[in-house]
Structure 1
Amino acid sequence: MLLGGYILLEDKPSNVLDNTFSYDPIGLIRTPFDSPDGMPIQPTGADSVTGTVKVEESYADGLTDLAGFSHCILLYHFHASGDDAPLQVEPFLDDTQRGVFSTRAPQRPNRIGLSVVAIESVTGQELTVTGIDVVDKTPLLDIKPFVPEFDIPSDVHTGWLDASESKIDSERADERFL
């Protein structure tokens, strides 16, 4: 069944998950972090960290008008997270195994990352951003403007984090994220 150009899974053969998709990076994210060891876990732990996002020349026109936004969403490939993608992980802020899809752990079946960063400037092919929490030379997949009216739901629950007794004692990666 087609819905807005998408095929709904219940109408696909059972091997639909065997399909592969390929994305070409549109640029590169440059940061001061050579490895995941000790880098910020989320953008909130990296609020003073500056990085650059350089898109390929063929995508530079796509940056037009982005400077009018205070923040953007970067989608990228976790190139340094390793190939192991367990479905249960011990997340930051907890000491209990959780389903990977209820965490922000970088070890994921498709190794796609997301960060909301502040835009400092847009010049030519390059964005200067703050709040960047990724390893240097991370392949960039896409950029989207952050729009609070679209991106912040009014009624939010944070699952196991709501009940977690863990305290934020560190905003840096540890051995769980290497």
Structure 2
Amino acid sequence: MRPRDHAGKPARLLPIGVIRSSIKKRSEAPKQASEGAPDAWLEVRPLVARALDGLKPGDEIIVVTWLHRARRDVLQVHPRSDPHRPLTGVFATRSPDRPNPLGLHRVTVREVAENRLRIGPIEAIDGTPVVDIKPVLCAIQRP
């Protein structure tokens, strides 16, 4: 059996939730979470709320977001918006502007409340769609 070629066919992502943050504008967001980003609430759609079972305060997770205010036509940027730095391909940067603007945010779960997680720090803007949540797994120790 040959695998089907899916190149060039549209992928479909459905948001599982949304970020509720005090950051309202892209210009207010720090470049990275470690640069003063606040905690925020991740509200999961009730239809998928049972998928939160097993998460608890103190857990580290990766939140995958769709950077809905990003420009998808940008292929090169000046890193950290510094015009003194040379133009660099977006795949070599953490720029939100890129062909498929997925954001990866490593955060700590602070609180679990029904279909909501208080997480942080996270630099996502209020209203940012969440497309997945994954646990951070510890490295396996070798003897």
Normalised-by-shorter TM-score class? 0.7 to 0.9
State the match for 1:61 in structure 2.
50
1:18 aligns with 2:2: no
Return closer, same or farther for 1:121/1:45 CA change in 2, 3 Å cut-off: same
Tell me the SS of whatever aligns to 1:62: helix
Equivalent residues of 2:112, 2:118 under 8 A apart: yes
Residue 40 of structure 2: which of 51, 55, 63 is its match? 51
Identity, in percent, stands at 30
Between structures 1 and 2, the one with greater helix share? 1
Counterparts of residues 93-172 of structure 1 (less than 5 Å): 95-149=85-139
1:89 aligns with 2:104: no
TM-score, normalising length: structure 2: 0.86
TM-score, normalising length: structure 1: 0.70
State the match for 1:158 in structure 2.
none
1:84 to partner: Cα distance:
2.7
In the TM superposition, structure 1's runs of 4+ consecutive aligned residues that sit over 2 Å from their partners are 82-85
Equivalent residues of 2:32, 2:123 under 8 A apart: yes
1:44 to partner: Cα distance:
1.1
Return closer, same or farther for 1:93/1:84 CA change in 2, 3 Å cut-off: closer
In 1, Cα distance between equivalents of 2:36 and 2:55? 21
Tell me the SS of whatever aligns to 2:56: helix
1:19-70 Cα distance to aligned partner (Å, 9 max, x none): 10111100111111111103111121135x1100000001111001111652
In 1, Cα distance between equivalents of 2:19 and 2:36? 15
In 2, Cα distance between equivalents of 1:39 and 1:123? 25
Q: Gaps spanning 5+ residues in structure 1: where?
A: 151-178
Residue 24 of structure 2: which of 34, 37, 52 is its match? 34
Equivalent residues of 2:72, 2:100 under 8 A apart: no
Q: Gaps spanning 5+ residues in structure 2: where?
A: none
Tell me the SS of whatever aligns to 1:21: coil
Q: CA RMSD in A?
A: 2.1
Equivalent residues of 1:35, 1:80 under 8 A apart: no
In 1, Cα distance between equivalents of 2:54 and 2:134? 12
Tell me the SS of whatever aligns to 2:51: helix
